Amino acid sequence: YGLTRYVMSLMNGARLAISAQAVGVAEAARIAAWKYARQRQQFGRTLDQIPAVWEMLTRQDALTVAARTLLYETSRYVDLRDAWAEWSERYPEDATARETSKRYSRLADLCTPLSKAFATEAANQVAYDSIQCHGGKGYMREQQVERLYRDARIMNIYEGTTQLQIVAATGGLVKRILEPTLDELAALPFSGEAAELAARVAEAREVTAACLAFVEEDSSSRLELAARRLVRMVTLVYVSYLLLRDAMRDNARLAITRRFIWEFLPEVGMHDCVVRDTQP
């Protein structure tokens, strides 16, 4: 077991823990915002009845569920990697086990930085929106959300900044590690509104793949410059599919999935335009 591999595995374990911390902070901030918005009266109605506030509240819901979904999926890959690694150590002649272990190892290595970047940035956005829902009171030290906002702010810095998570994920992106998983998700039998949403995700996936190919044709400095946008595009496509998959099992999830896809998936087209227009 090489030292680099050991250190990387230690770092990835901590990164996943920070993702979980970020999901916890986002959940607390989201709940605090809903609680306050249901109580506070302004202009003859409670805040949650005001569309501008309702929009912030539901954005917090969508981001928190999305971050938790990616965290759980990544944790599942880590568990499967460890279980298959132990099995193939015990039965070295089992070639299938060795291959399966390698597959989950690659997925865990890619999804860990994706999850850390996505969850910690989401926690910042959710805590920011939660303060906004509280108005001036949210800024005050005695309010729980003020503390949550400060806590969220360190999470995308320690255990590797978001920029370094992007560096860590770029190799897996270029190797198309997620492609077989995206194929499996795309082939799920979605129906009704979920099928319509899945068609939008499929389109965004094509845009992302074409954008990555465009960047690869150019210099390595273009890849470095575009990496943040490419990581965001792939994450949005992947999380959208995961949310749609979960909505198949629990129809109540469809509303939040729709909210996430409507609000965030259009970013894919915007990033594609910027990547193509920017000269490195």
Ligand X SMILES: Cc1cc2nc3c(=O)[nH]c(=O)nc-3n(C[C@H](O)[C@H](O)[C@H](O)COP(=O)(O)OP(=O)(O)OC[C@H]3O[C@@H](n4cnc5c(N)ncnc54)[C@H](O)[C@@H]3O)c2cc1C
CA distance 72 to 166: 20
The nearer residue to ligand X, 42 or 163, going by C-beta atoms, is 163
Q: Tally Cβ neighbours within 10 Å of residue 18.
A: 21
In the complex with ligand X, the residue whose CB is nearer, 17 or 195, is: 17
Q: Which residues contact 263 (CB under 8 A, 6 or more apart)?
A: 59, 62
Q: Which is nearer to ligand X, 166 or 268 (CB)?
A: 166
CB of 4 to ligand X, least distance (A): 17
* 89 annotated active-site: no
Is residue 119 classed as helix, strand or coil in its secondary structure? helix
Helices and strands (H, E) in the chain, number of each type = 11, 2
Token pair for 212: 């990555």
| Residue 194, both tokens | 């979920």
| 211 close to 276: Cβ distance less than 8 angstroms | yes
Closest alpha carbon to 183 in 238, 135, 115: 238
89, 159, 179, 224: which is the annotated catalytic residue?
159
- Where do we find the tokens 């819901």? 61
Task: Give the sign of the dihedral formed by CA 279, CA 166, CA 5, CA 109.
Answer: negative
- What is the closest distance, in whole angstroms, from the C-beta atom of residue 113 to ligand X in the complex? 12
Strand-pairing partners, residue 17, are: none
Bridge partner list, 185: none
Residue 46's DSSP bridge partners are: 41
In the complex, the smallest distance separating the C-beta of residue 7 from ligand X, rounded to whole angstroms, is 12
> Residue 267, Cβ neighbours under 10 Å: how many?
14
Contacts to ligand X by CB under 6 A: 154, 157-158, 160-161, 163-164, 167
- CB of residue 157 vs ligand X: minimum separation in angstroms? 5
Q: How far is the CB of 154 from ligand X (least distance, A)?
A: 5
| CB of 53 closer than 8 Å to CB of 35 | no
Kindly state the smallest distance separating residue 162's Cβ from ligand X, in Å. 7
Kindly tell me which of 198 and 230 has the beta carbon lying closer to ligand X: 230
Q: Which residues belong to the active site? A: 159
